[in-house]
Amino acid sequence: MANPDFKKILIKDAYIQWPKLDSCYSYDRMNKEWQKVDKSAPNAAWYCGVLLDAEEAMKLGKELKAHYEECRSRNPSLPPYKTIFGLVKNDDGTMIFNGKKKGVTKKGLPNDEPIVIGGDKKPLEDRRIWSGSKGVVRFAAHPTTNPDGEGGVSLMLDAVQVTKAVYASNDFDDFEDVPMETVTQEKPKDASFDDGDPFGLPPIPSTATKEEVKPSNDLDDEIPF
């Protein structure tokens, strides 16, 4: 029997935001950037958000709050409802509902990656899609609390069907195909090189996506349905 605390949320024709589906990621707060990590790393998770207009967002928000209250009626130890964890409110009234799936379960076992398929229902070959992609996103909404003891709803990422995939573009229109010359040169005998970059240049900064999704302290585990 399915756990009634987990409610299936299916969002069709979804505008996908900040997807991180090709690997687990973790947000480095010191450097303010996302880093691709192994699923066993601390706070490792797959992520995907959905952008909704004001009317759709309010409707979903009421549905999630009602689900929390229903769960609280079965579990009075839950605190009063406070928020939807991971929700981002934009100035124009739109909202982004962010879901994630942790790299490991509560038991410390490796978690299965979220299902990501194309319009043909076959596994999507390149999962490195960008914001602006469209599709169908399935979450599992469940009640949880944050470290401050506030109650709310978290969205566990279950599956994504991509109907429009947006990828990073490689703009090479300004260049032509020309032969490339390769030269091998021996190091001068009196040259002194440190290990690594011989010219002492600073390391190239990471180009990881820097949009920060508000973290939630939920209890992501296996999808229960």
CA 177 to mean position of chain CA atoms: 37
pLDDT digits (tens, 9 = 90+) for 55-112: 999 999 999 999 999 999 999 999 999 999 999 999 999 999 999 999 999 899 999 9
pLDDT value at position 189?
55
Q: CA-to-CA distance for 24 and 199, rounded, in angstroms?
A: 34
DSSP summary character for residue 88: E
Nearest to 21, CA basis, from 220, 213, 158, 121: 158
How high is the pLDDT of residue 123? Answer: 97
pLDDT at 119: 95
- pLDDT band for 2, please (50, 70, 90 cuts): confident
List domains and CATH numbers for the chain: 7-164 (2.40.50.140)
At 73 the pLDDT is 97
Question: By C-alpha distance, which of 52, 68, 66, 43 is closest to 11?
Answer: 52
Q: How many other C-beta atoms lie within 10 A of the C-beta of residue 69?
A: 13
Calculate the alpha carbon distances from 139 to 27, 210, 216 in Å: 21, 24, 15
Residue 162 to residue 112: CA distance in whole angstroms: 19
Angstrom distance (rounded) from CA 140 to CA 48: 13
Which of the 8 DSSP states describes residue 110?
Answer: B
